[in-house]
Structure 1
Amino acid sequence: MFPITAEVDDDTLFVVRPHWMHLVRPALALFATVAVTGFLAALTPPNAAAGWIQPAVLLAGLAVLIRWSVVPWLAWLGTLYSVAADRMTVRTGTVTREIRVVPFARVEDVLVEHESFADRVLGAGTLVLVPVGDRDQLELPGLPRVVRLQSELLVLVRRAAAERGKQVAPPDPEPL
């Protein structure tokens, strides 16, 4: 099943993070940035142009490293989808935290979209929660094992719909 982390409530069934494939580009950027920065820093003599070129190259490499490796990794780390029996909680952000709770009683259907062939091979995809009524759909991109997640969520959504159907209006008062 899906791993559970310590950051969730007691009634949580499972927790999902975005697929690891979202970390491939930041990892490639990390290796490329370190290699290029190291090469350029080694080419510049330490006393060339009053000694400011080598620190400037290192500072530029650090800026590229933060922008293209650290920030995407923190975004991946700060995104968490936890599923309880009656709701899904979407937590995003590392510095500023956004938490969105979606009760399954307000969800009509759960759809899966695969962006590419690589998504299908890796079992990743976008999960779309279709709400009851005229509300906007909630898209959760890049989830691992998305077809299995869809089937488990459909069970919970159908159960919530059955509970919603059982709730009838209160009976009319008896005549006096």
Structure 2
Amino acid sequence: MFTTTAEVDDDILFVVRPHWMHLVRPVLALFGTVAVTGFLAALTPPDSTWIQAAVLLAGLAVLVRWSVAPWLAWLGTMYSVAADRLTVRTGALTREIRVVPFARVADVLIEHESFVDRMLGAGTIALVPVDDRERLELPALPHVVRLQSELLVLVERAAAGRKKHVGPPDPEPL
């Protein structure tokens, strides 16, 4: 679900993170790695501590790569929606922030990658820009249909404001 936030900006409407389904594989990797590492460490002879240390170190490396890193990537990804812009924050250790004004967006599209995505209500939102730039894709978001409708309303408001300012200036009174 969307969560409201009271960040530095008071005009943030809601914040969205990627769908929880991205954490299923890291959790399965956590349990599998712990089980396999424990089993292999128990099989090593008691007098060979260096083999046990190597098994535990390899298990830790697999755990960091396949469980901790994806969890940190999920935790560090956040999409903040304000009335006039979308802010994309990515990265847990290093931070990348991208701000997309809705006045530069022409359309908001939904893409479901699988039947499971449709069942869970997840999908990719694609923001199509007004000019010839590449579209911005926000992968695996929850409640994607509701999010698309809310973003379309904000994009239409920005387009209406853009049309008001595009025309020729009003003539000066005599």
Note whether the superposition's TM-score is higher than 0.5: yes
Match of 1:129 in 2: 127
Query: Contact conserved, 1:8 with 1:82, CA < 8 A, in 2?
Result: no
TM-score, structure 2 as length reference: 0.95
Match of 1:21 in 2: 21
Identify if the C-alpha distance between structure 1 residues 17 and 55 changes in structure 2 by more than 3 Å, giving closer, same or farther.
Answer: same
User: For residues 103 and 39 of structure 2, what CA distance do their matches in structure 1 show?
Assistant: 57
- Displacement of 1:75 in angstroms is 0.1
Structure 2: tracts of 5 or more residues without a match: none
Alignment of 1:91-170 (within 5 A): 91-167=89-165, 168-170=167-169
Match of 1:78 in 2: 76
The share of aligned pairs that are identical, in percent, is: 79
- Displacement of 1:60 in angstroms is 0.3
Match of 2:12 in 1: 12
TM-score, structure 1 as length reference: 0.94
Instruction: Determine helix, strand or coil for the equivalent of 1:47.
Output: coil
Query: Contact conserved, 2:109 with 2:127, CA < 8 A, in 1?
Result: yes
Query: Contact conserved, 1:92 with 1:99, CA < 8 A, in 2?
Result: yes
User: For residues 159 and 79 of structure 1, what CA distance do their matches in structure 2 show?
Assistant: 26
Structure 1: tracts of 5 or more residues without a match: none
Identify if the C-alpha distance between structure 1 residues 8 and 56 changes in structure 2 by more than 3 Å, giving closer, same or farther.
Answer: farther
Match of 2:65 in 1: 67
User: For residues 7 and 29 of structure 1, what CA distance do their matches in structure 2 show?
Assistant: 34
User: For residues 139 and 63 of structure 2, what CA distance do their matches in structure 1 show?
Assistant: 24
Query: Contact conserved, 2:102 with 2:158, CA < 8 A, in 1?
Result: yes
Query: Contact conserved, 2:86 with 2:101, CA < 8 A, in 1?
Result: yes
- Displacement of 1:169 in angstroms is 2.9
Per-residue displacement from partner, 1:73-115 (whole Å, max 9, x unpaired)?
Answer: 0000000000000000000001110000000000000000000
User: For residues 171 and 47 of structure 2, what CA distance do their matches in structure 1 show?
Assistant: 92
Identify if the C-alpha distance between structure 1 residues 122 and 166 changes in structure 2 by more than 3 Å, giving closer, same or farther.
Answer: same
User: For residues 106 and 156 of structure 1, what CA distance do their matches in structure 2 show?
Assistant: 12
- The count of residues paired between Structure 1 and Structure 2 equals 173
